[in-house]
Amino acid sequence: MKKLIAGNWKMNGSLVANEALVSAMLSGMGSEEPVADLALCVPAPYLAQLQHLLKGAKLALGAQDVSAHEQGAYTGEVSAAMLQDFGCRYAIVGHSERRQYHGETDALVATKAQRALAAGITPIVCVGETLAEREEGHTEEVVKRQLAAVIHTVAHCTSEIVVAYEPVWAIGTGKTASPEQAQHVHSVLRTQLAAATEHPERVRILYGGSMNASNAASLLSQPDIDGGLIGGASLKAPDFLSIAAAAR
For the chain, the structural domain boundaries read 4-25+36-69+76-246
Any idea which architecture 4-25+36-69+76-246 has in CATH? Answer: Alpha-Beta Barrel (3.20)
Average pLDDT of each block of 10 consecutive residues along the chain (248 residues)? 97 98 96 94 98 97 98 98 98 97 98 98 97 94 98 97 94 84 97 94 94 95 98 97 94
Q: Are 111 and 150 within 8 A, CB to CB?
A: no
Cα 58-61-67 angle, rounded to 5 deg: 160
pLDDT value at position 121?
98
Identify whether 166 is a catalytic site residue: yes
Q: Report in angstroms the alpha-carbon separations of 65 from 9, 68, 240.
A: 12, 10, 21
Q: Are 110 and 121 within 8 A, CB to CB?
A: no
Q: Is 62 left (phi over 0), alpha (psi -120 to 50) or beta?
A: beta
Distance, CA of 111 to chain centre:
17
pLDDT value at position 177?
87
Long-range contacts of 210-217 (CB under 8 A, 24+ apart): 210/170, 210/171, 210/172, 210/173, 210/174, 210/175, 210/176, 211/176, 211/243, 212/176, 212/239, 212/243, 213/238, 213/239, 213/242, 213/243, 213/246, 215/176, 216/242, 216/243, 216/246, 216/247, 217/246
Q: Report in angstroms the alpha-carbon separations of 46 from 88, 94, 113, 119, 231.
A: 12, 21, 22, 20, 17
Binding-site members are 8-10, 172, 210, 231-232
Q: Are 206 and 224 within 8 A, CB to CB?
A: no
Q: How far apart are CA 224 and CA 227, in angstroms?
A: 9
Amino acid at 101: Y
Cα atoms in the 13 Å half-sphere on the side-chain side of 96? 20
**3-state DSSP assignment of residue 234:** helix
Q: How far apart are CA 73 and CA 24, in angstroms?
A: 40
Q: One of 32, 95, 140, 201 is an active-site residue; which one?
A: 95
Q: One of 97, 104, 166, 186 is an active-site residue; which one?
A: 166
Q: How far apart are the first and last CA of the chain?
A: 11
Binding-site members for substrate are 8-10, 172, 210, 231-232
Identify whether 160 is a catalytic site residue: no
